[in-house]
Amino acid sequence: MKKMKYILVTGGVVSGLGKGVTASSIGLLLKACGLRVTSIKIDPYLNSDAGTMSPFEHGEVFVLDDGGEVDLDLGNYERFLDVKLTRDNNITTGKIYQYVLDKERRGDYLGKTVQVVPHITDAIQEWIERVAMIPVDGKEGPADVCVIELGGTIGDIESMPFIEALGQFSYRVGAGNFCLIHVSLVPVLNVVGEQMIDPLFASWNKLINWPMNFCHLVYHVQKTKPTQHSVRGLRGLGLTPNILACRSTMALDDNVKEKLSQFCHVPAEDVITLYDVPNIWHVPLLLRDQKAHEAIFKVLNLPGIAKEPSLKEWTTRTEICDGLHERVRIAIVGKYTGLPDSYLSVLKALLHASVACRKKLVVDWVPASDLEDMTEIENLDAYKAAWKLLKSADGVLVPGGFGDRGVQGKILAAKYARENRIPFFGICLGMQVAVIEFARSVLGLTDANSTEFDPSTRNPCVIFMPEGSKTQMGGTMRLGSRRTYFEVMDCKSVKLYGNRRYIDERHRHRYEVNPDIVGRLENAGLSFTGKDESGQRMEVIEVPDHPYYIGVQFHPEFKSRPGKPSALFLGLVAAACGQLDALLQGFESREKVNCEIGNGPSNKKVYQNGYATKPANIIRDAIYSYCNGLSCTVI
């Protein structure tokens, strides 16, 4: 059996260096070389998972198909590698301890003293080996390479058991199967220096009134000491880096690489600079240009097996993204607008859709509570600023959320978009507020509410789900991939999803639309186009005579990919920039051509039914351009 190869990515000096993006980019680069890649993220905190953590502190909680509530870095992996990970691909201290303590309670340790070394460290290694074998790319059998990202910074107390375990692990899997990439920081200091000026030079250059015989110069000095220190720390803990990935504002000078090589015992050609780039899609390209894959293959004994990286599509998309200048403004009306990471996947999904529509995405963050009447009284400037942002947007998005702060503001935003025919997309809580708004404004039920915000409302249009738990918070929501069946076939959401009868999207909620009020809402013009298999859970709403007014109970942002934007995000952005009709027509033609072409050879002429009279590949290209090239897959 072939041996799994492991790449460990650690971080030094400071947090927030983009270790997750670096690790995902390494994975993508290796995938582009023809290898199958999986990934594991280690978070050394004590929480069992990210489900109970505030987005204010840790950014969004990413949700997986299996219902795992995990760190947002797993979202980066899924997007970059186009894979589907499992909850076990996110290891936390909490999970490991729980596993070991459960074993201890069962008596599995046979009277032994249970200790961090060897019991916790063994459990970590077993977990990694087990999870690395799970196929995540839809193919059979384990991947070739597993990228493991260790969260936090070298030297953190909480990560010590993991470092110890990984040190043992590198020894256990053996040289040639383990590669350590250390992501570090090379700060650039601007040092002001003085340069003597020759009086002759001054007069030649007509610096007649030059006051002194020297001038000031600013030197950019690349400092290696922080990296030296963190590598020393790493080595002190028994781990030796094979490759250094240095974050810096500029490319490293050769002499700086030499110095790092000398002090950190890494060959100079394996010191890679990740300098600042306009968007993160450049990172894999930066790694490729500096031949990071060759350095990795050398360490992992892979030369000859892997191919040269082919990143043509990725490069094209990155260049397209850089060159966009016509803007599309989307207002995100939310509660956690101070920390964009709280809505990371929503942002990425909007970006994927904007690139497909060839528009430069501008996100206007509107703090929901600033739209409320109370703010008009308490902070008029904030109120005016929020409404100005909302009113200048081409499209409005209300994302998911918990708790009642800002809910009234979200309801006002939904009302504004509905009444003024501005494209609107509500996700989870965003859909629930759209339903509340409709019930209040159109049905005249002024106290309509969700029981999450007003448990005693006389008109509960959003209610607690029967199977949920109000006391146990962790992992008790309706989580993960669930199926939605489309009930109405002639509507925008179905068309955008390619006229599929059903879709699978990820969920994370405790409340849902009250089925008892659905009939009245429907009679008043709100269409419930998608429901679950029981027909009792409302999954998709639409206002049919609005240019684009859609709400969904699920979170489609989690399955959006660069080059494969999520359908309803694409619809929102297309509607916001006046491309929705063309897009929907494109889907209609696609549908027609799919019927005609089937899976036949792409270069054969197709004459059936008199529809498609051109070679299938030409039709395919035409549809691609209809749908802006990157936005759809044409079979």
- Could you list the active site residues? 428, 555, 557
Q: Which residues pair with residue 366 across a beta bridge?
A: 333
**Closest separation in Å from C-beta 519 to ligand GLN:** 21
| Residue 225 CB, nearest approach to ligand GLN (Å) | 45
Using CB under 6 A, pick the residue from 402, 453, 611, 624 that binds ligand GLN.
Answer: 402
From candidates 19, 329, 509, 546, binder to ligand GLN by CB under 6 A: 509
User: How many residues make contact with ligand GLN (CB under 6 A)?
Assistant: 10
d(CA 58, CA 70): 11
Q: What does 377-388 look like in DSSP terms, one character per residue?
A: HH-HHHHHHHHH
CB of 287 to ligand GLN, least distance (A): 35
Comparing every residue's Cβ against ligand GLN, the nearest one is 400
44/530 with CB nearer ligand GLN: 530
Query: Are the beta carbons of 189 and 220 closer than 8 angstroms?
Result: yes
Closest distance to ligand GLN from the beta carbon of 487 (Å): 21
- Among the residue ranges 175-183, 311-319, 321-329, 395-403, the one whose residues contact ligand GLN (CB under 6 A): 395-403
Nearer to ligand GLN, 25 or 337 (CB): 337
Alpha-carbon torsion (617, 621, 627, 628), positive or negative = positive
Nearer to ligand GLN, 450 or 529 (CB): 450
DSSP 89-152: GEEEHHHHHHHHHHHHHHTTTTTPPP-IIIIIHHHHHHHHHHHHTS--SSSSS--SEEEEEE-S
DSSP-derived secondary structure for 461-494: EEEE-TT--SS--TT-SEEEEEEEEES-SSSHHH
* Total Cβ atoms within 10 A of residue 455: 10
CA distance 286 to 314: 12
**Interacting stretch for ligand GLN, rule CB under 6 A, among 145-153, 185-193, 507-515, 608-616?**
507-515
Q: Determine, following the binding rule CB under 6 A, whether residue 400 of this chain makes contact with ligand GLN.
A: yes
Nearer to ligand GLN, 187 or 468 (CB): 468
Tell me which of 266, 428, 583, 632 binds ligand GLN, using CB under 6 A.
428
Of 29 and 61, CB closest to ligand GLN: 61
d(CA 383, CA 372): 7
CB of 33 to ligand GLN, least distance (A): 38
Q: Closer to ligand GLN at the Cβ: 55 or 284?
A: 55
The nearest distance, CB 593 to ligand GLN, in angstroms, is 37
Contact between 508 and ligand GLN by CB under 6 A: the answer reads yes
50 binds ligand GLN (CB under 6 A): no
335 binds ligand GLN, rule: CB under 6 A: no
3-state secondary structure 593-616: HHHHHCCCCCCCECCHHHCCCCEH
The smaller minimum CB distance to ligand GLN, of residues 124 and 428, is found at 428
8-state DSSP, 581: H
Region of 114-122, 248-256, 326-334, 396-404 interacting with ligand GLN (CB under 6 A): 396-404
Judged by CB under 6 A, the stretch of 114-122, 288-296, 323-331, 509-517 that binds ligand GLN is 509-517
Cβ(309)–Cβ(300) below 8 Å = no
d(CA 552, CA 546): 16
What residues contact residue 279 under an 8 Å CB cut-off, 6+ apart?
318, 321, 322
* Shorter beta-carbon distance to ligand GLN: residue 51 or 151: 51
Q: How far is the CB of 517 from ligand GLN (least distance, A)?
A: 16
CB atoms within 10 A of CB 302: 20
Return the range that interacts with ligand GLN (CB under 6 A); candidates 98-106, 132-140, 503-511, 565-573. Answer: 503-511
Is 510 a residue that touches ligand GLN (CB under 6 A)?
A: yes
**Contact 442/526 with Cβ under 8 angstroms?**
yes
Any idea of the CA torsion for 622, 628, 633, 634, to the nearest 10 degrees? -10
Residue with tokens 């009279």: 613
Among 120, 245, 429, 577, binds ligand GLN (CB under 6 A): 429
- 539 belongs to the binding site for ligand GLN (CB under 6 A): no
Among 44, 67, 151, 401, binds ligand GLN (CB under 6 A): 401
List of residues 6+ apart from 569 with CB closer than 8 A: 349, 350, 352, 353, 425, 556, 557, 560
Strand partners, 526: none
Distance (Å, whole) CA 165 – CA 21: 24
CB of 403 to ligand GLN, least distance (A): 7
From candidates 425, 511, 528, 548, binder to ligand GLN by CB under 6 A: 511
As measured in angstroms, the least distance from the Cβ of 63 to ligand GLN is: 9
d(CA 75, CA 63): 8
Residue 208 identity (one-letter amino acid):
I
Q: Least separation, in Å, of the C-beta of 46 and ligand GLN?
A: 24
Return the closest-CA partner of residue 631 out of 589, 592, 586, 581: 586
**How many C-beta atoms surround the C-beta of residue 167 within 10 A?**
17
- Per CB under 6 A, the segment of 92-100, 176-184, 373-381, 502-510 that binds ligand GLN is 502-510
Contact set for ligand GLN, span 447-466 (CB under 6 A): 452
β-strand partners of 504:
483
> For ligand GLN, which stretch binds (CB under 6 A), given 41-49, 310-318, 377-385, 400-408?
400-408
Q: Shortest CA distance to 37 belongs to which of 25, 49, 28? A: 28
**Binding of ligand GLN by 405 (CB under 6 A):** no
Binding residues for ligand GLN (CB under 6 A): 400-402, 428-429, 452, 508-511
